[in-house]
Structure 1
Amino acid sequence: MAAELWGLSGLAASAFLSATLLPGNSEVALSAFLYKWPGWLWPALCVATVANSAGSATSVWLGRRVPAKELSPRVARWFGRFGPATLLLSWAPFIGDALPLAAGWLRLKWAPCLVWITLGKFLRYAAIGLAMHYI
């Protein structure tokens, strides 16, 4: 049991760092954890989701620290059209780290941002976890 808890701690650290601008590979960490302890699917999904969402929430907070100014017209249109729901894509490579920063910069409301971020992160980890579980 102690080894599993250490594994979850490592997964949490990887997931948190992966959601920031720092490099990370939480998908690999989740897959490795589930390979070693397949019976821990739901705890692993919860830990990865919460930690990765916390990393993105940190990015939203950091975006709020930047003085507000105009975004590119393309980004402004995107957020204007979809609002916080844009953060459903915060899991995506390349743009996923920038979206929470932009949401903070635009001063979007916290609660909807956190809901969409968490939903996107959970769906991604669930797809990976369930694939590992059933393959």
Structure 2
Amino acid sequence: MLESLSAFIADYGYLNLFILSFLASTVLPFGSEALVVALVYRGFSPLAVVLVATAGNFLGSCTTYYLGLKGRHVLERYLSPSPEKLEKSERLFNRYGIYTLLFTWVPGIGDVITMVAGLMQLPFRSFSVLVFLGKFGRYFALAYSVVFLSN
């Protein structure tokens, strides 16, 4: 069993990482960090792992942003975020502005931040740059921590 799981990771590592990272940046309760660590530890290119995870996570966030653009009724129908998380994210935006998007990688509130960015109709260009930088920074720190600690 463990041997087949290891082979599956080796054969489809980047594809699995992309899919898991994409899903993890929606409101689905997935995390991609363990797979990032496993791939880097197994000798996959840290830079490639970072880029694949960032791309998947970023595109998942863009999906959530788009649903936010469509309005609360769409969010409530498809994602059903808690009113408390939406209010908390709106307060963060009102207090810190668009730079809140740098923290979309934070578990628990990151996905809601992207929803609120869509609801507030923030410009996609600003959204894209800040969300990509935040997610890239997280995966870069994680992957290169594994490299540093395994040497």
On whether the aligned pair clears a TM of 0.5, the verdict is yes
CA 5–86 in structure 1, closer or farther in 2 if over 3 Å, else same: farther
Matching of residue 132 in structure 1 with residue 118 in structure 2: no
Cα RMSD over matched residues?
A: 1.9
Residue 23 of structure 1: how far off its partner (Å): 1.7
What's 2:128 paired with?
114
Deviation at 1:9, TM superposition (A): 0.4
In the superposition, relative to structure 1, how do residues 64 and 5 fare at CA in structure 2: closer, same or farther (>3 Å)?
farther
Q: Is the 8 A contact 1:4 1:37 kept in 2?
A: no
Q: How many residues align?
A: 129
Identity %, equivalent residues: 34
Question: What SS class does the counterpart of residue 93 from structure 1 fall into?
Answer: coil
Corresponding residue SS for 2:30: coil
Which whole-Å CA distance do the structure 2 matches of 1:116 and 1:23 have between them? Answer: 23
Q: What is the TM-score with the length of structure 2 in the denominator?
A: 0.78
Find the counterpart in structure 2 of residue 16 from structure 1. Answer: 22
Does residue 45 of structure 2 align to residue 31 of structure 1?
no
1:83 positional shift: 2.4
Letter in 2 for 1:18: A
SS of match in other structure, 1:97: helix
Aligned match of 1:7: 13
Partners of 2:89 and 2:22 in 1: CA distance:
25
Aligned partners of 1:99, 1:121: CA distance in 2, in Å? 13
Provide TM-score, normalisation by structure 1: 0.87
